Amino acid sequence: MKSGQRKSWQKPGNIFLALLIPALLTFHFATHPFATELAGRSINLSAYSAPHRQNFASALARLDGTVIKPGQTFSFNQRLGERASRGGYVPAPGYLGNDRFATSGGGICLISSNLYQLALLSGLDVVERSNHVRPVSSVAPGLDATVWYGSQDLRLKNNLPYPVEISTRIEGNFAYMKILGKAGLKPIKRRLERKEIARDNRTCLVEVYLLSSETENGSPETRLVSRDCYRIGR
């Protein structure tokens, strides 16, 4: 190399880029701490009534940006509060036990049910969850999580070593829900599997399993999540 001739990486432009890129990454991680999607899904809302969609929007707006710290337990009812008009909720058909009738905030079990599934797929612990008495059209049996302010709740505990964030939005006829972890994570692949193990003319029994591609010790795992009984007869 001739005297005074610089290597390519020593050129001012390349040196600037070498310094800039780590700085940009540091800035990105600092301003976007929840950059890794642990679990997410889209929900088609086109078949739902305007009151239902209003309740979905109100619930999702309250969930968006919720951070669950390590060791913290999240309460769906506490986060959303009472389903009253001051919270943006309107009467819409909903379920309570065997009955279906119009109630303020009706239909938001669709949101709690999807959040329940995302929590399982993200590795969160389910502290409290109840299934519907009867199967509902919006969610497959075994994957539902009914909520009723003051009685039935969905509670999730973050036993992960890092905080997670619930991210939601509505675009057109679709709602999008995600649970995000810190930047740089390599998410564990998980999926849910339903099995109807018994049925007669009055009831059906459903089991749900969580299948993980790997665990902390590096091996795959299949775990029973729930065993729910539903009334299907009159």
**pLDDT score, position 217:** 66
pLDDT digits (tens, 9 = 90+) for 149-203: 989 999 999 999 999 999 999 999 999 999 999 988 888 999 999 999 999 999 9
1 lies in some domain: no
Tens of pLDDT, residue by residue over 111-153, are: 999 999 999 999 999 999 999 999 998 999 999 999 999 899 9
The answer to whether position 118 is within a domain reads yes
User: How many whole angstroms from its chain centre is CA 8?
Assistant: 48
Print the domain residue range for 37: 33-187
Domain for residue 215, yes or no? Answer: no
Alpha carbon distance 39, 76 (integer Å): 18
- The answer to whether the pTM exceeds 0.75 is yes
The answer as to whether 63 is a domain residue is yes
- How far apart are the C-alpha atoms of 20 and 18, rounded to whole Å? 6
Is residue 149 within 8 Å of residue 82, measured between CB atoms?
Answer: yes
Do the domain assignments include residue 175?
yes
Q: What is the mean pLDDT of residues 13-25?
A: 53
pLDDT in tens, 54-96: 999 999 999 999 999 999 999 999 999 999 988 899 999 876 6
User: Which residue did the predictor score with more confidence, 99 or 127?
Assistant: 127
- CA 93 – CA 26 distance, rounded (Å): 48
Predicted local distance difference test score (pLDDT) of residue 165: 98
Q: Answer yes or no: is 99 within a domain.
A: yes
Q: How many domains does the chain have?
A: 1
Q: Which two tokens stand for residue 110?
A: 């669709």
**What does the block give as tokens for 3?**
């005297």
**Residue 177 within a domain:** yes
Domain assignment of residue 179, yes or no: yes
Q: Which residue has the higher pLDDT, 167 or 5?
A: 167
